[in-house]
Copies of this chain bind each other. A is one copy, B any other.
Amino acid sequence: MLYLLTCLEKPEIKDFRDIACERRYDRMLIIGEKISVIAKKVREAMDSRDPKPIQELAESQWKAGAHFIDVNIGPAEENGEDLMKWMVSSIQEVVKAPLCLDTTNASALEAGLKEHNNEWGRALINSTSNDPERFGMLELAAKYNAEIIALTVGKGGLPADAEERCGIAAEIMARAAEYGVSLEDIYLDPLILQVCTTQDQASHSLKAVKMFQELNDPPMKTVVGLSNISNGVPKQMRGLIDKVYLTLLMYEGLTAAIANPLDKELMDVIKTTDIFLGNTLYAHSYLEM
């Protein structure tokens, strides 16, 4: 409801999307996932440096309620710097949104951070972890005043349970302090695994989201890559699994999800869960808001 109040206070604001995203933080944050090298259309647009399909995806996700636009260029081993710079400027030409820069290529990431317009919110780096190869991402977060996602996984095997995820989170938090990254700028990611092969991990990740928050005061922020939960599941069932799991994650206090804001059913479930969490006031028109 915060943005409505802001509109009342500032009648010159006609479109709530003109309000910086910080003003919408009372609800769960959506990091729009559609601009990804995995999608053929996006990959082709990247290769031919055609901004249109990318800008359209950015605009449609922003209008659908995304708070960040994820920009996943993959490892981008060739011309990664040029590609990320071009992506950032193309997208921020059309949406006044902060971006989530998603690549394992540190120099491409840095090029994106340099280009990023912080006027509409600080960039979010996706991601550091407990793997030494990802430590440098913390340095970039400090240097460019960016927020950062921290995947609670190391170089070895996957974490066994919520407690192990918390142990890894604590190591990352200590390292962040060394690198000069504020704990309030970290989004801890419990690493969502596919329910169809590792069913018990779904409850470990839920528990981790709850426990992560207790690692600091104010509570640590949390984030998930939602669709991982339904990887490997028959396509017609994926939406249902994603929606039910997200409701539970939100109930445990999740701050943000990398998800598809163009999925109207998913967005309706988020809005409805926000009603039960008391984040939004009920009105017959709440699904349209």
Contact residues of A with B, CB < 8 Å? Answer: 195-196, 199-200, 202-203, 206, 233-234, 237, 240-241, 244-245, 247-248, 251, 268-269, 272-273, 275-278, 281-282, 284, 287
| Given A199-B281, A202-B276, A278-B200, also A244-B241 (CB < 8 A) | no
Query: What is the distance, in angstroms, from A161's C-beta to the closest C-beta of chain B?
Result: 13
Which residues of B lie under 8 Å from residue A206 when comparing CB positions? Answer: 276
Which residues of B lie under 8 Å from residue A199 when comparing CB positions? Answer: 275, 278, 281-282
Query: What is the distance, in angstroms, from A198's C-beta to the closest C-beta of chain B?
Result: 9
The SS class assigned to the A binding surface is helix
| Given A275-B199, A276-B202, A282-B199, also A269-B287 (CB < 8 A) | no
Query: What is the distance, in angstroms, from A5's C-beta to the closest C-beta of chain B?
Result: 17
Which residues of B lie under 8 Å from residue A195 when comparing CB positions? Answer: 275-276, 282
B245 touches A248 (CB 8 A): no
Which residues of B lie under 8 Å from residue A272 when comparing CB positions? Answer: 240-241, 244
Cα A237 to Cα B289 with chains together (Å): 14
Contacts beyond the supplied A203-B277, A206-B276, A248-B251: 7 A-B pairs with Cβ under 8 Å: A237-B284, A241-B275, A244-B269, A244-B272, A244-B276, A247-B248, A248-B248
Which residues of B lie under 8 Å from residue A202 when comparing CB positions? Answer: 275-276
Residue from A196, A234, A269, A276 whose CB has the most chain B CB atoms within 10 Å: A276
A276 touches B245 (CB 8 A): yes
Which residues of B lie under 8 Å from residue A247 when comparing CB positions? Answer: 244, 247-248
Residue of B nearest to A245 (CB): B276
Cα A202 to Cα B244 with chains together (Å): 18
Residue of B nearest to A206 (CB): B276
